[in-house]
A = this chain, B = another copy of it.
């Protein structure tokens, strides 16, 4: 086995305990699959990391250096999951960052999750979580390292049939899954929660919206109540590692794997093949 973790480009898994990532969760991250040695949609993930660093005023280490690290790790494990973390680095006095932060970058490559293939074809069972998402526009949309709400939510049910929990915000609107974004289809229109108050704006969410555009499906970002969700024709979940998972069951209610979900899954499969081919030959 070759290198699986790089901290600032060095083959180690050691970070300093005084790093603000460890002290305060002061950083951002992204996770993406690697297929045939190609980190999927890496430019989108790097753009997102840069945008999220900007939201927190963390200096961005630069796309080139992250790309370099990613390439080294993809050789170790050509089919895996790549995680990229950027923190504000070491230093500062209490919460106040130092005048000149030197960010820490940590990249790690992991085995792919071993989900059974039926999850993509037959769909997944989903529940509602009791743990809510606090509302805070300052952090909304950012994939930051403050993830206790998701952890408490994920601890509510044991490993097993239920694959994801949906989270409401403090006002009772459906926002996202603990690790996924959520779409509902009704009357030929796609709906997905607005993420201006809380939640993570996922890369796969953006890709699916792009696909919907190409397929002539309207997408509305909106506030969604649990009752509106129960009234949907189809539901599906997205994230970069899983792509699209149809929801077949929500709190006991059955949903079919519908046309919009199937069309978008097919569109995504083609897009992924193109991405592989373009990078492998390019």
A→B interface (CB under 8 Å):
5, 7, 13-26, 29, 56-57, 85, 87, 93-97, 106, 108, 113, 131-136, 138-139, 144-155, 159, 170, 178-179, 198
Known contacts A134-B136, A134-B198, A170-B135; A147 and B16 CB within 8 A of each other: no
**In the bound complex, what is the Cα–Cα distance between A119 and B263 (angstroms)?**
65
Please give the distance in Å from A87's CB to the nearest CB on chain B. 8
Name which residue of chain B comes closest to A131, CB basis.
Answer: B138
Contacts A/B (CB < 8 Å), 27 sampled: A13-B17, A13-B18, A14-B14, A14-B17, A15-B15, A15-B16, A15-B17, A17-B108, A22-B106, A22-B145, A23-B29, A23-B85, A24-B25, A24-B148, A25-B145, A94-B179, A95-B151, A95-B179, A96-B151, A96-B159, A97-B151, A97-B155, A131-B138, A134-B134, A134-B135, A134-B136, A139-B148
Please give the distance in Å from A49's CB to the nearest CB on chain B. 16
Name which residue of chain B comes closest to A25, CB basis.
Answer: B25
**In the bound complex, what is the Cα–Cα distance between A198 and B19 (angstroms)?**
25
Other contacts beyond A23-B29, A95-B147: 10, CB < 8 A: A19-B22, A20-B151, A22-B85, A23-B145, A26-B151, A56-B151, A97-B155, A131-B138, A134-B198, A145-B148
Is A26 in contact with B148, judged by CB distance below 8 angstroms? yes
Is A106 in contact with B145, judged by CB distance below 8 angstroms? no
Known contacts A93-B113, A135-B134, A136-B170; A22 and B22 CB within 8 A of each other: yes
Q: Which chain B positions have C-beta within 8 A of A131?
A: 138
Is A108 in contact with B18, judged by CB distance below 8 angstroms? yes
**In the bound complex, what is the Cα–Cα distance between A20 and B148 (angstroms)?**
10
Please give the distance in Å from A202's CB to the nearest CB on chain B. 14
**In the bound complex, what is the Cα–Cα distance between A178 and B132 (angstroms)?**
23
Please give the distance in Å from A82's CB to the nearest CB on chain B. 14
Known contacts A15-B15, A15-B17, A136-B132; A145 and B24 CB within 8 A of each other: yes
Please give the distance in Å from A53's CB to the nearest CB on chain B. 13
**In the bound complex, what is the Cα–Cα distance between A96 and B96 (angstroms)?**
31
Name which residue of chain B comes closest to A16, CB basis.
Answer: B13
Q: Which chain B positions have C-beta within 8 A of A108?
A: 17-18
